[in-house]
Structure 1
Amino acid sequence: MFRTAAPRSGALPTTAGPAGGAVPRLLRAGWYTPVDQDGPGRAPRPEVEEVHRHAAELYGTRVLGEEFTHSPQRPTPRLAAGALDALGPLAPDEAPQVAVLAYTTPDFEHTTLTASLLQHRLPGEPLCFAVSDQGVLSPFTALRVAVEYARRSAWTRLLLVVVDQSSQPYPGPASGQYAVRQDSAAALLLAWDGGTSPVAGTGQGPAERALPALRADLAQARLFAAGTGLASTPGLAPAGTRRDAEPGLPCTGVWSALRGAPGGRAVLADHDHELDRLAHCTLDLPTGKDGVR
């Protein structure tokens, strides 16, 4: 059971961001995209297929059968572990105090819980949980929740893990924003230097209400990472570079656009057309000759 609001700590840090709020700072990131996207598949497992058939009957759908059996079948914990491996070892003083998983496509296997895997793999005893049911905006919600826990609990480090997994036992979207074409995961280690300051550069809501704030934040951005939901949105001309997310990656696409990005301020945004909600956030990226790795 989790609280809907982070508990306030009695020992909040004294550092504060600039007037009007602060933004999270990206320390480093790990990216995982399996090379063999088609995958070897698996031998049929009658006991698992029976569970899928039973669930399909309850919800009036069908099991994909051989199409699912011969899919890559990389469960979410495996993809999240790949992103953690790419992130690299964390020293105790680098470890996040809260780690949040974000995804759009549900997992097909539940023998291992990804949040439990994260807690097992990370140093210390971070608070770990998942955010879903937010469409393609799940990572934006997850980041805001993680920052609120950090802001209220005297924490300074957080981890955002974003996963897209393509194997599903039931029919899913074949096109559009929710369609997943390949397995992908990203792990972003962030610092919160704002103390008790409010988080800045974020927003979420109906597009007509959220767009003015997004445009204002883009005026100060060196990079704009745009999700596929913003491909046809007019009037989004950032002062810096624009990178568009690759289609077929509902959750990870916009975040993967940060890979190799130059240091400075970046704005990420996407518009979930089905939910009619637009979300954006602002990050400070590390400087260096290789950019974000």
Structure 2
Amino acid sequence: MYRTDATRPGAAPASPLRLVRAVHQVFPRGGIRIDDDFSARHFSDLTAAYGRSYRPGLVEGGTGNDFALMARQLVEGLGVPGEDVGAAVVAHATPDLDCRRAAATYLSDAWPHGPLAFGVGEQGGVTPFTALHLAGACARRNGMGHVLVLVLDQASLPYDPGTRLAGDAGVAMLLSTDDGPGPRPVVRVVPGVAAEEVPGELSRLLEPVLEAGPVTVVTGPGIDPPRDLPEGTSGVRPAAKGFPCSALWSALATADLQEERLVLIDRDPLTGDLGVCVTLPGPGES
């Protein structure tokens, strides 16, 4: 088991990764059942441990999509050269649908060479920032040619999660360590930022980026743009609500990253962890 926390990515070295391509997909209701006897016992025990109530009626038809199924479809849509993938990192804020299946296990078994695969969680909407940082560190340390980062959301929960979830969706990013052209995502995660400290912290982090030229700023649900962003910041748009991880990162799949610089920002209200990702031009770009 690899265990980390948001204090790891405090510094922002030059990114060893360039974004080759990204895909985003919203999934229709899945057919994986969680209304069997095992699932009933599992969710009853799980919810009781956290003072919640098991409510199977909240899951329409008793079925949904698990992360392994979504990972498979995203990888197929991405067209990943499997033999070149050294590591696959799965980031999620909501729990997986079925504890008997795991996306990381599927990804490790999906290619004959068995790449390193692991999941990152417990940081809310900031989880993908940490996953991307870990992917870069892993590629740098182990000399990997490509790494895959998956950002997944699923909404079929047989208990009240305390927030509105809109559905199942995911973003897959294929990143390379070569020197080809393409945007290079530079990530910062600053732990334990109080709400009143966010404007000052973002001003410090974004000042050099905003001075360098026009950017598009995409904000997650943990950011209040009028309150938190530096005065005069233009090109701001909020991510879609109800997808705590994937909505923010879907911007990478739709933007023309050869022409448009992106800044992605979110903050976890429980921990105060603040994440910022800037896509920087890579070699060969103007």
Q: TM-score range by the shorter chain?
A: 0.7 to 0.9
Say whether 1:185 aligns with 2:177. no
Alpha-carbon distance, 1:237 to partner: 5.0
Say whether 1:67 aligns with 2:58. yes
Distance 1:202 1:96 in 2: 21
Provide, for residues 227-252 of structure 1, a one-character-per-residue CA deviation record: whole Å limited to 9, x for no partner: 2222432326557x444311111100
Q: 1:266 aligns with which of 262, 272, 277?
A: 262
Aligned twin of 1:9: none
Provide, for residues 54-73 of structure 1, a one-character-per-residue CA deviation record: whole Å limited to 9, x for no partner: 33333332111212253652
Say whether 1:25 aligns with 2:18. yes
Provide, for residues 168-208 of structure 1, a one-character-per-residue CA deviation record: whole Å limited to 9, x for no partner: 1221123xxxx3211001110012348xxxx9843222234
Q: 1:86 aligns with which of 64, 74, 77?
A: 77
- Residues 20-169 of structure 1 aligned to structure 2 (within 5 Å): 21-22=14-15, 24-34=17-27, 36-37=28-29, 44-68=35-59, 70=61, 72-90=63-81, 92=83, 95-122=84-111, 124-169=113-158
Give the structure with the larger helix fraction.
2
Alpha-carbon distance, 1:81 to partner: 1.8
CA separation of 1:202/1:210 partners in 2, compared to 1, >3 Å: closer, same or farther? farther
Provide, for residues 251-273 of structure 1, a one-character-per-residue CA deviation record: whole Å limited to 9, x for no partner: 00110022221123432221222
Distance 1:165 1:56 in 2: 17
Worse-matched range after superposition: 228-237 or 135-144: 228-237
**Mapped contact 2:150–2:171 kept (Cα < 8 A):** yes
**Mapped contact 2:91–2:131 kept (Cα < 8 A):** yes
The normalised TM-score by structure 2 is 0.78
Aligned residue type for 1:245: A
Say whether 1:2 aligns with 2:2. yes
Aligned residue type for 1:262: D
Q: 2:220 aligns with which of 211, 222, 227?
A: 227
Say whether 1:215 aligns with 2:207. yes
Alpha-carbon distance, 1:82 to partner: 2.0
Cα RMSD for the two superposed structures:
2.9
Alpha-carbon distance, 1:151 to partner: 1.6
Structure 1 runs not aligned, ≥5 long: 6-19, 287-293
Alpha-carbon distance, 1:283 to partner: 2.7
Structure 2 runs not aligned, ≥5 long: 6-12
Distance 1:43 1:250 in 2: 22
Worse-matched range after superposition: 119-128 or 40-49: 40-49
**Runs in 1 of length 4+ with deviation above 3 angstroms?**
2-5, 39-44, 208-211, 218-223, 236-239
Worse-matched range after superposition: 225-234 or 141-150: 225-234
Secondary structure in structure 2 of the residue aligned to 1:170: coil
Say whether 1:278 aligns with 2:278. no
**Mapped contact 1:26–1:284 kept (Cα < 8 A):** no
Aligned twin of 2:9: none
Secondary structure in structure 1 of the residue aligned to 2:254: coil
Secondary structure in structure 2 of the residue aligned to 1:250: coil
Distance 2:64 2:3 in 1: 33
**Mapped contact 2:153–2:168 kept (Cα < 8 A):** yes
CA separation of 1:200/1:161 partners in 2, compared to 1, >3 Å: closer, same or farther? closer
